[in-house]
Amino acid sequence: MSPFELSAAALGVLAVWLTVRQNPWCWPIGLIMVLMYSWIFFEVKLYSDMLLQLIYAALQLYGWWQWTRGSLQHDGRQVSRLGARPLSLGLLAGTAGSLALGYGMATWTDAAAPWWDAALTAFSLVAQFWMAHKRLECWLLWIVLDLLFVLLFLSKGLYLTAALYGLFTLLAVQGWRTWRRELEPTTA
């Protein structure tokens, strides 16, 4: 565990905590964190995760815009649920991305865990897109992904990052509860 990893982890906790609270500052803080983690993952040859962090950088900007100006009235998004079609399309995109990226990483790189890393990367992009649109289901996907990330990071000796993702799992449970409570009065 390096001071750099510790700083990235601290920013990650702050960013997810702010996300649960629907504070738009989660996005610029998250931007700094993902840029730091792209370097950390490069160093341990988790190339799919490194690429994921770089894509997250762009998605941080997209999410910030969506949360502050992304509705028809340009006053930000409200929590909502995914319909069956967008849910299915998101899961299909995650599966296709997992297979394509996994094949590429297994074939053309010395990636440490090409298929596992690729699947987590592809489905994380789906979860992040859903989060940018304030879809409640993003939290359920994050819970599953964060638990699997814990196992991956433990296998690579990234103990602080594994602990961070364990904390992310707890924050995702809190996010699910908080956003669901906000949604219930409008659907009742």
SS3 at position 80: strand
Q: How many domains does the chain have?
A: 1
Q: Can you tell me the mean pLDDT for 39-67?
A: 89
CB atoms < 10 A from the CB of 14, how many?
Answer: 16
Give yes or no for residue 181 having a pLDDT over 70: yes
pLDDT of residue 73: 52
pLDDT of residue 188: 47
How would residue 74 be classed by pLDDT, with cut points 50, 70 and 90? very low
CA separation, residue 138 to residues 42, 56, 71, 104, 125 (Å): 26, 15, 19, 26, 10
Quote the domain boundaries for residue 18. 3-187
Model-wide pTM > 0.75:
yes
How would residue 185 be classed by pLDDT, with cut points 50, 70 and 90? low
CB 154 within 8 A of CB 162: yes
pLDDT of residue 48: 83
Q: Which pair of structure tokens corresponds to residue 72?
A: 């028809």
pLDDT of residue 118: 93
Give yes or no for residue 46 having a pLDDT over 90: no
How would residue 72 be classed by pLDDT, with cut points 50, 70 and 90? low
pLDDT of residue 101: 93
- Identity of the residue numbered 174: Q
Q: Can you tell me the mean pLDDT for 133-158?
A: 94
Q: Can you tell me the mean pLDDT for 117-136?
A: 93
